[in-house]
Amino acid sequence: MADPLRLGIAGLGTVGAGVVGIVQRHTELLTARTGRTVTITAVSARSRGKDRGVDLSAYAWEDDPVALAMRDDVDVFVELMGGDSGPALDATKAALAAGKDVVTANKAMLAHHGQDLAEMAEAAGRTIRFEAAVAGGIPVIKALTESLAANEITRVMGVMNGTCNYILTRMENAGLPYDEVFAEADALGYLEADPTLDVGGIDAGHKLALLAAIAFGTKPDFDGMRIEGIERISIDDIRRAADMGYRIKLLGVAQRTKDGIEQRMQPCLVPAISPLGQLEGGTNMVVIEGDAVEQIVLRGPGAGMGPTASAVMGDVCDLARGIRIPTFGQPAALLEDATPSRSAQPASYYLRLMLDDRPGTLAQVATILGQNGLSIHRMRQYDHKEQVAPVLIVTHAATPDALDAAMRALETTDVVLVPPVALRIEAE
């Protein structure tokens, strides 16, 4: 039997403790499936004395994750600290420089520094595996880099942040406003330390940038993505969408266009009867379309100790078996610079306007929309008691540029009292 594969784990939070637990519980199973023993030799975290629910007494302790990454008795550096720079990035670079493979759940670090790290890994004959960085327990990275490697991928889309999906479905099912559900999610520990990473779409955007890089053979391009969060979604938006047979999801879409790579993370209306529309709670879903496979749908838990630790250990098992592929599925030197593109593909839009209730207001709104290339498919004004009249409009298909021009024009008028909300209606 081959020599043991020795892990050094930096970061002993929920996921790190989960990884330790799997190694301890499934020693014989891992050996049977990989052909070698998987062991932990050393760990690192900010607090040595904290009770993490697992026994760490058999492992060496390093206060400095960089020192852990450089230990001679560590073969694979498992980075579970998080953060796009700082200790996580320093330790990852140190591990690669020391000739070690890296397994990480750090989507932010890879979205911002993935190309440099991939080049560094390949120069050292090593690799970076990051299944746990995207969609928790769903094996979407493996699907793209291995199972679908013979496909020309045309589109990747999905719901990739369980917190946002929890908030939106909780609002709908309980009839609660956004602020109340946000506070509930925070109390349950669902939100990042900086909540804007979740509700602002940034966390999901990091994930989409990694999927796009693999799918289209480009360098990760987080800066080229259009990102909009869910902060402006109201319970009224959710109810009106439901009335029309839709549900609101924070949806990521990446696709190749004739001008480059389009990447967008934004709230959209999707058909309630579709797989994405039926997604509840913290579950994630990724839809992949390829020229040979057509369309596949991957669904599963997007976060949590078990699912994410499972993804980490899936990468560890591949390394134990000797499976080592380029970080983004092909040599880093072959990855192209991503040319950001904005799709001209027309779509219908849902518009929520808060208007001054006076004669001529609706006519003025219709004129502005028409002047900017948007025609009204249906419109409804809801009962109100104040001078502010809520109006819902669904447009016929229009380009994103036409929508933006119309929104800018509406905001300059004195009849639109608050910035309008516009949501794309995404047909699957």
Which of 267, 301, 335 is the last residue before a domain boundary?
A: 301
164 and 261 Cβ atoms separated by less than 8 Å: no
In a domain, 366, yes or no: yes
Q: Quick one: 107 and 219 in the same domain? A: no
Q: Quick one: 175 and 62 in the same domain? A: no
Q: Quick one: 195 and 88 in the same domain? A: no
Compute the Cα dihedral for 407, 411, 412, 417 and give only its sign. positive
Which of 106, 133, 160 is the last residue before a domain boundary?
A: 133
In a domain, 119, yes or no: yes
- Give the Cα-Cα-Cα angle 76, 79, 85 (nearest 5 degrees): 130
Question: Distance between the two ends of the chain, CA-based, in angstroms?
Answer: 49
In 3D space, the residue among 185, 167, 176, 82 whose CA is nearest the CA of residue 130 turns out to be 82
In a domain, 319, yes or no: no
With cut-offs at 50, 70 and 90, classify the pLDDT of residue 1. Answer: low
Distance between alpha carbon 325 and the CA centroid of its chain, in Å? 23
Domain holding 201: CATH number?
Answer: 3.30.360.10
pTM for the structure as a whole: 0.93
Percentage of residues in the chain with pLDDT exceeding 70?
99
Q: What is the mean pLDDT of the chain?
A: 94
- Asked which of 32-36, 166-170, 230-234, 358-362 is least confident by mean pLDDT, the reply is 358-362
Number of domains forming the structure of the chain:
3
With cut-offs at 50, 70 and 90, classify the pLDDT of residue 344. Answer: low
In a domain, 326, yes or no: no
- Which residues form the catalytic set? 207
In 3D space, the residue among 420, 396, 400, 428 whose CA is nearest the CA of residue 246 turns out to be 428
Domain holding 400: CATH number?
Answer: 3.30.70.260
> In this model, does residue 332 exceed pLDDT 70?
yes
Rounded to an integer, the average pLDDT of 390-406 is 93
Q: Quick one: 116 and 167 in the same domain? A: no
Rounded to an integer, the average pLDDT of 294-302 is 93
User: What percentage of the chain's residues is helix, strand, coil (to nearest 5)?
Assistant: 40, 25, 35
Q: Quick one: 77 and 151 in the same domain? A: no
Q: Quick one: 361 and 264 in the same domain? A: no
pLDDT in the model for residue 428: 64
In a domain, 260, yes or no: yes
Q: What digits encode the pLDDT tens for the residues 101-124?
A: 999 999 999 999 999 999 999 999
In a domain, 399, yes or no: yes
> In this model, does residue 58 exceed pLDDT 90?
yes
Q: Quick one: 86 and 51 in the same domain? A: yes
Q: Quick one: 125 and 159 in the same domain? A: no
Q: Quick one: 18 and 109 in the same domain? A: yes
In a domain, 76, yes or no: yes
pLDDT in the model for residue 74: 98
In a domain, 63, yes or no: yes
Q: What digits encode the pLDDT tens for the residues 173-203?
A: 999 999 999 999 888 878 888 899 999 999 9
Q: Quick one: 120 and 158 in the same domain? A: no
Percentage of residues in the chain with pLDDT exceeding 90?
85
Q: Quick one: 114 and 153 in the same domain? A: no
Which of 133, 162, 187 is the last residue before a domain boundary?
A: 133
Domain holding 12: CATH number?
Answer: 3.40.50.720
- Give the Cα-Cα-Cα angle 269, 273, 276 (nearest 5 degrees): 55
Q: Domain residues for 262?
A: 146-301
> In this model, does residue 384 exceed pLDDT 80?
no
Q: Quick one: 151 and 261 in the same domain? A: yes
In 3D space, the residue among 398, 351, 394, 391 whose CA is nearest the CA of residue 374 turns out to be 398
